[in-house]
Structure 1
Amino acid sequence: MRFLNRWHSPSYSVLLTLCSLFIFIPLISRGLFGWSQSYGYLSDIAIGSLLVVLLYQRTLIIALPLMIFWGILTLANVELISAVGRMPEPSDLHYLTDAQFVSRSTHGAGLSHPALFLALLINIALYVLLLIRQQPGAHRPLARTWLLAPLVLLAGHAALQYRAPSESDQWFQFNLPHKLAAEGLSDTEEDLQNWLDNQPPGAPVDVAGLQQLDLDGAPLLSRPGQAHNVLIITLEGIPGAYLSPSRDALHSPYVGNTMPRLSRWAERGMLTADYVLHSHQTIRGLYSMLCGDFAKLDSGTPKGVELLNNPARSEQCLPAQMRKNGFSTHYLQGAGLRFMAKDQIMPQMGFDKTLGRDWFTNTPHLKFPWGMDDKGFFEGSLSYIKQLRKQDQPWMLTLMTVGTHQPYSAPPEYLQRFPDSKLAAVAYLDDAVGEFLDALKQQGVLKDTLVIVTSDESHGIENLSLASAWGFNLILAPEQQQLPHLKQGVYGHVDLTASVLDYFALPVPANISGRSLLRDYSHGRQIISYTNGLLREHDGKGLFTECDFQHVCRRYASPGFINDKSHYLGRFTGRAARLLSQQAEQLNQSLIPANASQHYQFANHQPIELKLERTDDWADNLVGAQYLELPKDTQTTVTMKIRAVNLDAAGATLQLKTKEYDRDVEIAIPPLPKLTPEQTVSVSFTFNNLDTRKAFSFHLLGQGNGAIALDEFSVTTEPRTDGLIAAQSDSPGPVETSTEDASEDLHN
């Protein structure tokens, strides 16, 4: 009884409250949020027990601020992961001191997990009451020897990470304080290594092996390809693991007959199984495929956007080269074209015609916010190909599906057959593309057309190593009997442009990188990828390297890039790790001169139909200015000019929002005046970038009956070298708004 009475005393109740706040709530939350992984639980227990030991029986003036700060970090972590799929960074901490940001973020029960907020609040309040009730001096803090327990757990976490690294997202492996501490320790270690090496960070490195054009392999075809046309079918987000021949070739542990119809087609053509996707996002994948270059290996401004200011490099992209050699070039996708500015980027690459959702007149089989469902898309694409085949001119057509993009599109009968909407959407796509390829064969298209089936990116597979970087390439050519069923070697999206030009024996521009899929090589090659927060490189000599967010790299003995059974060789940091990150930075070099002004024009003067009600910031976005990088110590000026087109008397309501990493960010944008018929709205404002803004997006939203046209939507970012910006707040600069008579403006 005396023992039980001790645990009912205020002192032990205080200890239990601390354990609840720092250990039990994080563990329970992890399970409820679906972030269950042994590394994460171990991180929660280690950090939580460390804080319990440090704070037990400390004075209220010491413990309470730390507990409140812990609660804020816990909430911020959960909210940011829920909103944009990433953990907070140290640079995000300044938002906690921004009263406007905090008030807007929590306005109207803005927290997505209010139950967690209440649990933390009640726990902290209970702790304060118990500590006040406790008699002063009744107990002393825990002995320092208790620190050994959490330190041993942290050492165990590091050892397990060393021996068996995980590819799971950061929040599966770490809680927030542990992750921030690990990053800080890694940065300190890297800075020390820089000092010991006496070498400044960012020094030039050799990337010739990654950027070279290699056409020295033995041709698979004895003469130039017989096809007259090129058809590139790009499937949204499909990993190579979904094709059974790819799984068999690479001995993948993934099980599941996910895409049986496409798998059967893969057995008829030439399939490249060890095929690398270099990044996430459709526009980055399309850029790598069609321009023979690595996309940005981080979250900076996509090179496709930078291509808008570089016509010389644009002329070297595959569509421009095919057009130069007499082909008519066409791009057709199921979604609207404005998102990610594909309405401008694809023509810049050299497409004669760039068409999106508005082109399709056939009836869709189901409603999908992003555009045409996959079955309806391929039915429309067949009619487009029939039109092309009536022409005498050879053609190049690139297709881009959308149904396997979140929130995923599938009819009810598919949703009933599969455990989740993602697999149902993949199955629906499999049937649609299978029927499409069957139709191409029946109509004789495969006899005179080089057909390439691939994916823009990989939406990944849980607990499958390298799935986020695993793509596929399937070639169906008229001379199929001369090609192997399985193409050996490591290839990637960077190789597609050189491969198509090589097939037709056309000149390949010097700035194009990669190898030809239509050649055999006696030696390996370097290739690099950045997906799921991991930078990976294969040196072409049996060595695979993977570096995580802590700048900790691991080496494996692996004959290829995609290999789930690689032999682990050990970890490294310091100069060797820094060289790999510098290679990525070198490849990331913008297509515009360093330190120059960045100017992008996202307006195209074309009518844009409005909806009576908007429901989605992404699908209803009227402008394609997404995922930009605004450098540190710069100032950005945005200028808009919006014109009414056939609006009814009620006019249109407009709003401009900004996001960073897909989460709303607070920039004081002036309210847009109501747009009425016969008028234009002109707005110009500036804002400062005290720190680098990455994955920064503009979302222009509108409601009304009719259409509008963007005559101007320019984003200009200029460096500030006068030193004034450091003293300024993050508030906007001058703001100008006006409405003008449209008829007068058009006359002028």
Structure 2
Amino acid sequence: MQRKMYILLTTLFLITFASGRFLLIAKKNFDYSLFDILKPTIIDILFAVLLILLCYWLGKLNRLLPYVIAISSMLFYFANIEYIYAMDNILNLSDISYISDSEFLKGSALHVSFPVYYILVVLFLIGALIFGNQLNKGAREGENKKLSVIFLVVLICSEGVLVSLSDNDWKNNNFVYASLNNGVYTVMNNEKDYDNQYYPENIEEKINTTELIGEGKDLLSHAAAGRKNVLIVTMEGIPGAYVAQTQKHLNVVNSIKMNSFNKIKDHSIIIPNYITHNNQTIRGLYSFLAGDYPKLDASTPKAYEYMEDSKNQKKLLPQLLKDKGYNTAYIQAAGLEFMSKDQFMKSAGFDTVIGSEGFPHNEVPFSWGVDDKAFFEQTESYLNDLNSKGKPWFATLLTVGTHHPYAVPPDYEEKYPDRKEAAVKYLDDSLSSFIDYINHSDFANDTLVLFVSDESHGVNDQPYGSNWGLCIAYAPNIEGTIYNDNVFGHKDILNSVLDYVDSKEYSNKKGRSIFRTYGKDSPIMFATHVNGDVFYSTEKGKVYKLDSKNNLYEIDSENHEMFSENYTIKKINDESLKNDISLYKNYISKPSSDNNELNIIKSKTYEVKAKEGYLITAGQYMTLPDKSYVNIDFNYELLDTKEGVGLTFELRTNEGKVIKKTVDGATSNKHLHYRFFNDKEQSGYTFEMFMTPFFSDTTSTKKVSIDNMVVSFEDKDKELKKGQSDATEFDVFKKGDEETNKNLIPFMSTSKSGVFLTSDNRILLNSKDSNNYLVYGPYLPYPKGKYTLQYKFKLNEKYGLNEPLFTLDVSAQQGSQIPAQRSFTLEDLDYEGGYYIAKLEFELNQDISDVEFRLHGNRSLDMTVTDVSTTKK
């Protein structure tokens, strides 16, 4: 019976698993023949068979290993499905760092596209593992151990061969194999020694135009007098393939069409061949504001290096326009702390920077920020205010609703086949109303509006669809629909705006403008850092692709434009061109300064309320050099400080550490420091910093200043920088290591006034007016076992021997289980050296990810807790 059930559940798993590709293809509306789908389906089934065999033979050695391997593999497989659906690309191993970022998880990973499919796959797989383990009971008692090891080696080698033979095209391979292959080869081919690499003197000519802006043929009449406002509307992930006019012009078919642009087509310049140079919002924003390539790999974005390199900073577009008398504003629908866009935009020269906190109304609840309709509607008042100041203005907007998992109203989700298309249509309708607002506004006749995308979330059946961007210029002095067929990218926006604002002043500046046509093609580079592909083109319609395996391909479009319905793709062997493309990529991606510091926050003031948590920063995705110490430092100040006012700072890293420090408002040292050693180079390193204030008046707000948050890197042999040695250190605790976490107070939280954490890791309870207080935490993982919880404290008043003082309990699985609970009187406490000790024994029958200890008040108390700890029996 067990063998039959094992075979049945394994068969159901194989069939269900293989159907995932068909679900994804249907969701993405691909048109595939049986021949196209046959090879990747066979590879999918082979992957599933090898996984089942691997788990079966692992089960002969240990009954838990099959579950660990199987669930990990399926989670990685599901994550790839979601990423392919959202971005038309596979995951890179470097993207695993996103998993540790709670802002990313909250915004992007809390919605799944195929829930029924995922549930069925997991159920059938776990069922097969259960019965496989039953069949393996005898082997675990000593039978066939040697044979099991041999089979495991063979299976693992087979998996390794399949990974090495895969390429990074998900349409031809199993998603996991392709993703692993890509990640491994990206790491292997990563160039690290940028500084010692030789770059020829003419390298700029190989990647940028040598022409001057004014050498192009002017598409506009610049005779129009008066101020020229500039509005850039940046739309999250939208490719140019969604523009109906572009589809018609290039003879490209796409099921999604944004009809809102029909309202502006009679006064527009459309750029069909528009490139986003890389993925990720911060890279796209930097590129068009700086007039520069972003880095073409996954290393620290240039935006962070720009903020730190104050001595050599070139002026970005906002500052250049400020110098010409413009007011400037940056307004986005998402929170500003993620990727430190608030700090970068201030460094770039924007006078006003507004994020999701500036939008009180939402039409659709969405973790990333404000939905598109609510964003555009509420932005109108900001633009009206900007326009009322009597000076020309420059504003940049950024939507977020078309970011996975998409902000979609229920009626749109019912109307369209998938959430992605529904989100685009919702954006389209919202944009249509916003265009109506612009056309009826006081600034309608003297404003240039640029509609662009920050990145591309991919286009089906396009070899570089993840770099197909959108760019449309709309202004009253544009007559008719004009198609500029030259190739442009994000880096050309800055020059284009300057050309529009003052064509005479900037005509001799090197570069290209979308408001002009040029007689010859210009070199351009772009990349998709998630899969390691780098593209290079010097002739429109002919693109060279260098993949992560160092394979070189020539891609020729059928229509001789950059984007086409059909392409000819052939592998070529040209070592010289391979080396050139790698050299150009490294030149663009090398650090933009020699400064070993990244300034995450220069200066920011927060208005805070007691006991509320505030995100200070997240999502930096930095590159950490090898063999170096990494320092995270910042200054803090509580304005209008009073005694009894304090802050708890919590730093979470992607190494699984949660680090805390509570500081008193009256403390003289207002500099916090965290330091660790980094052995191997890491890309995509990120950390989160949270702040929780506490003070007695829970109704009022106070101001907290955070200044000079810097991440710095030092060689392992160097000493600490001056100023760091006398800083207050964070209290470092490692998740899941209850043996080394001696005092858990930094992890604890309190409720009600009169209950505080202090900077020297104590908890003060002065609850004379209340018995409804609570001390709770630490929400750390504890393995299965028996423990003793201990509270050590001083009583500052006298109490009766049998008088109830407080109750301790242990909570597991988010409060659904209470393994232990006990009320304490003075008689129940141990007394040692002036301290009272309350002990509570508890047992966990399984591993728990978020154990909570709670101290409930039974009466008003005046006490000081000096230690909260656990010991394992």
Fold agreement, TM-score > 0.5: yes
Which residues in structure 2 correspond to 1:27-426 (within 5 Å)?
28-29=16-17, 31=19, 40-46=40-46, 74-80=70-76, 89=93, 115=123, 118=126, 121-122=129-130, 125-126=133-134, 128-129=136-137, 166=169, 173-174=173-174, 176=176, 180=180, 204=199, 206-212=203-209, 214=211, 215=213, 216-221=215-220, 223=222, 226=225, 228-257=228-257, 259-266=258-265, 268-311=267-310, 314-360=313-359, 363-426=361-424
CA deviation string 1:52-111 (max 9, x = no partner): 99999xxx8x99679998875554344346569565759999x9xxxxxxxxxxxxxxx9
1:500 equivalenced with 2:497 (yes/no):
yes
CA gap 1:580/1:127 in 2 versus in 1, 3 angstroms: farther
Q: Are the aligned partners of 1:277 and 1:469 in contact in 2 as well (CA < 8 Å)?
A: yes
| Paired amino acid for 1:607 | Y
Which residue matches 2:706? 711
* Secondary structure of 2:369's aligned partner: coil
Report the Cα offset of residue 451 of structure 1.
1.5
Asked whether the equivalents of residues 235 and 401 of structure 1 are also in contact (C-alpha less than 8 Å), the reply is yes
The verdict on how the C-alpha distance between 1:739 and 1:441 changes in structure 2, with shifts beyond 3 A counting, is: same
| Matched residue type, 1:584 | K
Distance 2:415 2:51 in 1: 48
Q: Which secondary structure state, in structure 1, belongs to the residue aligned with residue 136 of structure 2?
A: helix
What are the Cα deviations for residues 234-292 of structure 1, in whole angstroms up to 9, with x where unaligned? 122222122211222222231134x2123443454111122111122221111111110
Q: Partner of 2:630 in structure 1?
A: 636
| Compared CA separation, residues 610 and 314, structure 1 to 2 (3 A) | farther
Q: C-alpha separation between the residues in 1 aligned to 2:328 and 2:232? A: 11
- Asked if the contact 1:306–1:590 (Cα under 8 Å) also holds between the matched residues in 2, the reply is yes
Match of 1:691 among 680, 683, 691: 680
The Cα offsets for residues 435-487 of structure 1, whole Å up to 9 and x where unpaired, read as: 22222222352321121111111223455553321111111123212x75222
Match of 1:103 in 2: none
Hey, what's the Cα distance between the residues in 1 that align with 2:163 and 2:687? Answer: 44
Higher-strand-fraction structure: 2
1:653-672 map, 5 Å: 654-659=649-654, 665-667=655-657, 669-672=658-661
Give distance in 2, aligned partners of 1:500 and 1:91.
Answer: 34
The partner residue of 1:474 within 464, 472, 497 is: 472
State the AA in 2 paired with 1:709: V
Give the Å deviation of 1:572.
Answer: 4.7
Mapped partners of 1:676, 1:26: distance in 2: 61
Contact kept in structure 1, 2:234 and 2:398, CA below 8 Å:
yes
Contact 1:461 1:468 in 2 (8 A): yes
Name the CA distance, whole Å, in 1 between partners of 2:347 and 2:565.
39
Tell me the distance in 2 between the aligned counterparts of 1:513 and 1:127: 73
Secondary structure of 1:691's counterpart equals coil
| Counterpart-to-counterpart distance in 2, 1:647 and 1:422 | 49
The TM-score normalised by the length of structure 2 is: 0.64
Contact 1:636 1:715 in 2 (8 A): no
Give the equivalent residue in structure 1 for 2:450: 452
What residue identity is the alignment partner of 1:385?
A: L
Whole-angstrom CA distance in 2 between matches of 1:515 and 1:67: 64
Residue 637 (structure 1) shift: 0.9
Deviations, residues 325-367 of structure 1 (Å, cap 9, x unaligned): 2222222222332222122211211222222334456x44444
Which range moves more in the overlay, 521-530 or 639-648? 639-648
Structure 2 residue 552 is matched with structure 1 residue 563: no
Name the count of aligned residue pairs: 662
| C-alpha distance in structure 1 between counterparts of 2:573 and 2:492, whole Å | 30
CA shift in 2, pair 1:117/1:20, >3 Å = closer
CA offset digits 1:299-330 (Å, max 9, x no partner): 21111111112236644311111122222222
CA distance in 2, matches of 1:281, 1:92: 15
Residue of 689, 702, 713 corresponding to 1:700: 689
Q: Tell me how far apart the structure 1 counterparts of residues 49 and 122 of structure 2 sit (CA, whole Å).
A: 25
The alpha-carbon distance between structure 1 residues 182 and 598, as it changes in their structure 2 partners (threshold 3 A), is closer
Q: Are the equivalent residues in 1 in contact too, given 2:240–2:246 (CA < 8 A)? A: yes
Q: Cα gap change, 1:243/1:204 in structure 2, threshold over 3 Å: closer, same or farther?
A: same
The structural deviation recorded for 1:498 is: 0.8
Instruction: Give unmatched runs, 5+ long, in structure 2.
Output: 26-36, 84-89, 100-117, 721-726, 732-757, 761-873
| Secondary structure of 1:427 counterpart | helix
Partner SS for 2:704: strand
Say which SS state the counterpart of residue 308 (structure 1) adopts. Answer: helix
The two structures, once aligned, show a CA RMSD in angstroms of 4.9
User: More displaced, 643-652 or 545-554?
Assistant: 643-652
Q: Counterpart of 1:517?
A: 514
2:772 corresponds in structure 1 to: none
The aligned amino acid for 1:468 is: S
Cα drift, residue 374 of structure 1? 2.4
Q: Partner of 1:447: helix, strand, or coil?
A: helix
Paired residue secondary structure (1:426): helix
Task: Report the AA paired with residue 377 of structure 2.
Answer: E
- Structure 1 residues 135 and 334: CA distance shift in structure 2, 3 A: closer
| Residues 186 and 552, structure 1, Cα contact 8 Å, conserved in 2 | no
Partner of 1:739: 759
1:530 corresponding residue in structure 2: 527
Distance 1:622 1:81, change over 3 A: farther
Aligned equivalents of 1:63, 1:373: Cα separation in 2: 48
Counterparts of 1:358 and 1:91 in 2: how far apart (Å)? 28
1:5 matched to which residue of 2? none
- CA 175–395 in structure 1, closer or farther in 2 if over 3 Å, else same: closer
Q: 1:428 to 1:39 in 2, by over 3 A?
A: same
- The code of the aligned residue for 1:597 comes to N
1:501 counterpart letter in structure 2: L
- Name 1:3's counterpart in structure 2: none
Assess if the C-alpha contact under 8 Å between 1:602 and 1:624 holds in 2. no
SS of residue paired to 2:527: strand
Q: Is the 8 A contact 2:338 2:620 kept in 1?
A: yes
- Per-residue CA distance 1:477-503 (angstroms, 9 max, x = gap): 23212x752221211111100111122
> Does the CA-based 8 Å contact 2:408-2:419 persist in structure 1?
yes
From 617, 621, 625, the counterpart of 1:627? 621
The worse-fitting range, judged by mean Cα deviation, of 243-252 and 636-645 is: 636-645
Corresponding letter in the other structure for 1:666: G
Q: Do the aligned residues in 1 keep the contact of 2:327 with 2:386 (CA within 8 Å)?
A: no
Indicate the SS of the match to 2:428. Answer: helix
Measure the CA separation in 2 of the matches of 1:432 and 1:719: 49
Q: How many angstroms apart in 1 are the aligned matches of 2:40 and 2:409? A: 37
With a CA cutoff of 8 Å and minimum separation of 6, indicate the structure with the bigger relative contact order.
1
In structure 1, C-alpha distance between the alignment counterparts of 2:673 and 2:406, rounded to whole Å: 37
Check whether the contact 1:643–1:680 (CA below 8 A) recurs between aligned residues. Answer: no
Work out the CA distance in 2 between the residues paired with 1:213 and 1:184: 37
Cα shift at 1:381: 2.7
Give yes or no for contact 1:284–1:295 (8 Å, CA) kept in 2.
yes
CA contact (8 A) 1:250 1:274 kept: no
What secondary structure, in the 3-state scheme, does the structure 2 residue paired with 1:709 have? strand
Instruction: Return the structure number with greater helix share.
Output: 1
Q: Distance in 2 between matches of 1:572 and 1:119?
A: 49
Contact 1:43 1:178 in 2 (8 A): no
